[in-house]
Amino acid sequence: MSSRLEKTFRLGAYRRVRIIFWLASFFWLALIGRLAQIQILQTERFQAHAQAQNFRQANQKAWRGTIYDRNGLKLAGDITAQSFFAVPDSIANPGEVALRFSRLFGKEFQPLLENLKSDRKFVWMERQTELPQAEQVTNWKLRGVYAREEFKREHPLGELGEDLIGLTDIDGRGISGLELYYDSILSGQDGSEVLQKDALGQVYQMQEQTWKEAKNGCDLALTLDAKLQWVLENRLKQGIIQTKSASGFGLLMDPQTGEILALTSLSRPGFPEGENQGRLRPLTDQFEPGSTMKAFTAAAAIEEKIKSPEDLIYAEKGKWVTGIGKRVLHDIHEYEMLTFEEAIAYSSNIALAKTGLAVGSEILYRYFRDFGFGFKTGIELPGEASGTLQPFGDWSKITLISNSIGYGISTTALQLTSAYAAIANGGWLMKPYLVKAFLDPQGNLLREYKPTPIRQVISSQTAQIIRGFLKQVVEMGTGITAKLEGVEIGGKTGTARKVKAGSKGYLDQYISSFVGFFPVEQPRYLGLIALDSPKGMVYGGQTAAPVFREIVKDILSLPSTPTYELIKKRVPDENGEGTVTTIAAQNAKTQQNSKKGPTL
């Protein structure tokens, strides 16, 4: 009996062992299979999951290119700044951290606290801090808060040329002006790097390995002159205040090359900018040029030999019935007979309207078009308007009369200045440009821009005659307030009522302007000043011309001004004979003599 029981017991034990063996074998086979699946079949998936828990890829920002003026002065460039971020699951006391950052940086407490209590793995606390603030945060030694070096855009010359140069957002992307237009060139290519957290979740540190090296952006060298930009902005601002204008805009150009030397648009201090904010009005705003257009009507008449400087024109005593319906054209003064040169100097509407009729629609349209009106200049900036020049087929007699004196046609300040450059440089329309060169991060020249002639519009002889006319505008005509002793300045005044936006007719507001250049025989500087809605005195000769005169005075006071030695005046020497000296030398001698006191 006992042997039978023993046999049964052994058989049961054997079965149990077999069951356990097979169960164990199945378990180990399943485990090995799962390990094989993880290690072999799903390796990439679990590696990625592990990296997601322990590593984070972050951009390594490229150094944004620097923007320089023509003399190498930095207008915009990157500097390093400390930014602070937090790892929420590493912060022991979110309330304390949120409170400190809220007080130091003036941020709302509750959003900071909510971010620190969230499941997010990375939270910006404050970016691109100032040095004293960065030192204070570092001294706190807060667990779970870490510093990261970033690049911050700096403008060493403050707000000078801000609308033109443009701005970047906090991530270093261009959002306006040149920063936007050349963003892809300035920004370079970001790299990438790895952030690593330890097993305890207490350390968030940089891993040395960089996955992709950042490529720094290229630099921009502009034609802009920072000194002239300051002169333009300063004098325009004074002009706006003195004339109680709502705003103003202007630019300076080298007429021989088309290089933009300064460009700005400003509003009266304390006056709401509204739709003008951030706009480069010399490029974007279209306006009727008024009398500044008369120079091109005169140029067409001279070039086509329809008029000569001595030709007499009857100015109808200031009132001319045009014969088109009931339309009557007026002059401010009751002129009778004027030479063609005097007609420009005194800005006679009647004389220039008659000149336009003599030239004819087809010829005048062709000259206006060749001077660049109705077309974009192609300058390397966003938002340029083309102006409006009616197609020749749509011109009527009244269109011809109106366009001859600067009405019924619209232009931008840049177009108008470029057209005057053709008169100043001997007849060639030049493409205006603002970028002189691209440089790589090491300062090597990548691309250089040269002056680009577009077409010859008038002969050098005609250009010289028109410059003589414009000299008389300043010497004895409507632009006499731009006259500066010892300097030959040429220019033209303009006064035109503003067109109603979105409808026909005009507002009881004016754009008052002056376009001028110097020295007359070989102009090196050309400028346009426009004042929007001046109060009281509204004519260009009363408002804009004096601003240009002050700009010329400031330019001549700069030691590096090329015309410093070009503008000369005959001064009697001690023997009474004429000697040539510079204006600057004469002024210096005057100051020296004034210190000697009276001769006894």
The phi, psi pair for 365, rounded to 5°, reads -60, -45
User: Helices (DSSP H) in 37-165: which residue ranges?
Assistant: 43-54, 94-105, 109-116, 131-140, 162-165
**Rounded distance, CA 76 to CA 166, Å?**
9
Poorest-pLDDT segment among 383-387, 518-522, 577-581: 577-581
**Rounded distance, CA 13 to CA 173, Å?**
78
pLDDT tens for each residue of 485-509: 999 999 999 999 998 877 778 899 9
Residue 191 burial by CB count (10 A; 0-12/13-18/19+): exposed, middle or buried? middle
Domains of the chain with CATH codes: 57-222 (3.90.1310.10), 226-269+280-564 (3.40.710.10), 567-600 (no CATH)
Please tell me the pTM assigned to this model.
0.79
> Based on C-alpha coordinates, what's the Rg of the chain?
37
* Residue 59 pLDDT exceeds 80: no
Q: How confident is the model at residue 58 (pLDDT cuts 50, 70, 90)?
A: low
Q: Give the CA diameter of the chain.
A: 161
pLDDT tens for each residue of 12-33: 667 777 777 777 777 777 777 7
**Confidence at residue 476, expressed as pLDDT on a 0 to 100 scale:** 96
pLDDT tens for each residue of 119-157: 787 888 888 888 788 888 888 888 888 887 778 899 999
Question: Length of the chain in residues, anyone?
Answer: 600
Residue where the block lists tokens 């204008």: 245
Strands (E) in 306-366, as ranges, are: 312-314, 319-321, 328-330, 337-339
The phi, psi pair for 251, rounded to 5°, reads -155, 160
**Rounded distance, CA 248 to CA 526, Å?**
17
DSSP per-residue letters across 29-47: HHHHHHHHIIIIITHHHHH
Bond into 519 cis (ω within 30): yes
C-alpha distances (whole Å) from 424 to each of 256, 276, 523, 537, 562 are 8, 31, 6, 29, 16
